[in-house]
Amino acid sequence: MPSCALAAPEIAISIDSPLALSLLVVFFFTCVQFWLHQDAHKRPFSSRILISMSAGALSAWVVCEKLNLSQAAELVALAILLCATLATISHIARLASFEGLRSLLLKEVAQKTITLEEKNLELKSTQRQLRIANIELKALSFTDALTGAYNRLYFDRQFLVEWQRARREQEPLSMILVDIDHFKELNDQHGHLVGDQALKFVTELLKRGFQRGNDIACRYGGEEFVILLPNTPPTQAIKRAEEVRKQIETTAFEQEGLKLSVTASFGIGGIVPQPHHEPLGLLHATDQALYYVKRNGRNGCRLATALDSEPTNHREESNVIG
């Protein structure tokens, strides 16, 4: 039986023509591109690569025609040379495009950085303005609108703070209550504008007379003021109170061309707080000293001594010393 073995087909490729050289260049160039960029199959096909391949194929055709090459070895060598040249040019172009992209990105990042810095400065400025506004708002909540002195709310807060500190440190804490004499008559005779000016005038003299760093002058209500004197014994507090009282008595203030004067009564209390003492005890005794002055001719100073008595709903004559 005759054998019917199949012979492998022989494919003969002629590479002695310009077309063959062009195809070789395209083939080698594609291989080099995949070797240089192993993830090229994941990227979209670049028009730059297509242009390079077309230019290489055209160059190979022209060179082959001009040199009239016919040997296969010469054609292959020329194809490899052209491929290497094109690959080098393509790589340089790619680096150049990367450098341009890098410059563009760096410029964009720099611009964004400048923008962020500007926004950061604006944010810091806004935060600073907010802090200032909060401080001003807090100051307004603790300040009497008419006189500019601290108000009753601030006194209530600071009184407890200073009381606790004095009890902890076993230091004296003194208090002065001040009341403008005949203030209602002043308002009735000259009007409320004059009364307001008198309040401002007394406030200014109180601030001048009690201006140590820890002295606290507050408008207690109406025509009454209260002074807190931390770390000050009552004997020293009454001396300072008498100095300010004399200044108020001997100094005139002007309102609408009129020179007017007022006097004030001072009640003084002081103590080194002990565990059994209460803050209201000091306030009550100081208030009684002030009331004693008001009942005995006004325009004077009295030092309270009955600091352990309980507060009452009305003022009583307290045990005081002159």
Separation of alpha carbons 227 and 174, rounded Å: 8
Give the torsion through C-alpha atoms of 212, 287, 154, 169, to 10 deg.
Answer: 60
Separation of alpha carbons 248 and 260, rounded Å: 11
Asked if 248 contacts 264 with a C-beta cutoff of 8 angstroms, the reply is yes
Asked if 65 contacts 58 with a C-beta cutoff of 8 angstroms, the reply is no
| CA angle (166 as vertex; 161, 169 as ends), nearest 5 | 125
| CA angle (159 as vertex; 157, 162 as ends), nearest 5 | 110
* 216-221, strands of its sheet edge to edge: 216-221, 224-230, 173-180, 264-271, 301-304, 320-321
Question: Catalytic: which of 65, 171, 223, 278?
Answer: 223
Q: Say whether 223 is catalytic.
A: yes
Active site residues per annotation: 223
